């Protein structure tokens, strides 16, 4: 049986696990890269990769049994533009992102992340300041970061943190606070489940601007402000200065 959740801060999941270079992952490593963080059983990417052969698709997932099942399906379908890796997105990943050729990362999707509702567990949530800083550094201007969730209490602080970074803007015509539709051609597994119950999905598409990546300490301060809205701290008021 596959566990519902694993603690990403437990010692086993904090072990460094460097990612292989693109050449070892994809048939044509020069294609633009789509990165899906928290790809679970992989059915979304297994359906998307043949629809979008002009991109490589990489699914990162912390639950190893799901990655093994997804990889078996990927091999059976002979998809050279798709890979799944067993990884904690907050460990060893920033170095790999920074090693990507400039402009290669085209799209990052973070869809229906685990909520970790208890305040003391918020540190287990996947979008941490270090990951956001690394994504912002790897995404060239105009490239996209797509977030969606069915839980306002989860997506609102994510959106606030991304906005506090100053590195991303929404397309001017996108409605606020949430996009009306999904820019991707297929729903994820969780999205299907939520929509089938007639429940709302909250979505935001961000585009990387030309703004420099803030210093990590500033982004961490912004994250604390986002996490403590009752304390009167306004994330937008936290001065976020660029990395020297």
Ligand X SMILES: C[S@@+](CC[C@H](N)C(=O)[O-])C[C@H]1O[C@@H](n2cnc3c(N)ncnc32)[C@H](O)[C@@H]1O
Residues with active-site annotation: 114
Q: Are 88 and 62 in contact (CB under 8 A)?
A: yes
Per-residue string for binding with ligand X, 148-167, x by CB under 6 A? --------------------
Assess 190 for contact with ligand X (CB under 6 A).
yes
Cis peptide bond prior to 177, omega within 30° of 0: yes
Tokens of 225: 């402000």
What is the smallest separation between the CB atom of 134 and ligand X, expressed in angstroms?
13
Burial group, residue 133, by CB count within 10 angstroms (0-12, 13-18, 19+): buried
> How crowded is residue 108: how many other Cβ atoms within 10 Å of its Cβ?
23
Contact with ligand X (CB under 6 A) among 105, 126, 132, 134: 126
What is the smallest separation between the CB atom of 206 and ligand X, expressed in angstroms?
17
What is the smallest separation between the CB atom of 66 and ligand X, expressed in angstroms?
6
Assess 38 for contact with ligand X (CB under 6 A).
yes
* Distance from C-alpha of 244 to C-alpha of 240, rounded to nearest angstrom: 12
User: How many chain residues bind ligand X (CB under 6 A)?
Assistant: 20
Assess 40 for contact with ligand X (CB under 6 A).
yes
Assess 238 for contact with ligand X (CB under 6 A).
no
Q: Which stretch binds ligand X (CB under 6 A): 107-115, 139-147, 214-222, 229-237?
A: 107-115
Q: Which stretch binds ligand X (CB under 6 A): 58-66, 157-165, 168-176, 219-227?
A: 58-66
Beta carbons within 8 Å of 8's beta carbon, 6+ residues apart: 14, 62, 88, 90, 124, 126
Q: Are 164 and 234 in contact (CB under 8 A)?
A: no
204 phi, psi to nearest 5 deg: -140, 130
Q: Which residue is nearest to ligand X (CB)?
A: 38
Residues that bind ligand X (CB under 6 A): 8, 37-38, 40, 60-63, 88-90, 111-114, 126, 188-191
């Amino acid at each position: 049986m596959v566990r519902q959740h694993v603690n990403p801060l437990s010692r086993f999941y904090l072990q460094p696990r460097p990612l292989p270079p693109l050449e070892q992952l994809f048939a044509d490593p020069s294609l633009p890269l789509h990165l899906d963080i928290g790809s679970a059983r992989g059915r979304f990417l297994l359906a998307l990769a043949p629809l979008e052969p002009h991109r490589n698709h990489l699914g990162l997932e912390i639950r190893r049994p799901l990655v093994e099942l997804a990889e078996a399906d990927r091999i059976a379908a002979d998809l050279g533009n798709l890979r799944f890796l067993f990884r904690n997105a907050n460990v060893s990943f920033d170095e790999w992102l920074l090693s990507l050729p400039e402009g290669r990362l085209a799209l990052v999707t973070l869809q229906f992340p685990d909520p970790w509702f208890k305040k003391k567990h918020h540190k287990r949530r996947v979008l941490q300041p270090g990951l956001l800083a690394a994504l912002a550094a790897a995404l060239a201007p105009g490239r996209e970061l797509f977030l969606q969730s069915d839980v306002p209490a989860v997506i609102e602080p994510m959106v606030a943190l991304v906005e506090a970074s100053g590195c991303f803007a929404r397309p001017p015509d996108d409605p606020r606070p949430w996009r009306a539709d999904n820019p991707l051609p297929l729903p994820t597994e969780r999205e299907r489940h939520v929509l089938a119950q007639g429940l709302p999905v909250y979505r935001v598409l961000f585009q990387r601007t030309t703004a420099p990546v803030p210093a990590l300490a500033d982004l961490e301060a912004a994250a604390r402000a986002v996490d403590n809205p009752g304390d009167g701290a306004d994330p937008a008021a936290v001065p976020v200065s660029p990395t020297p």
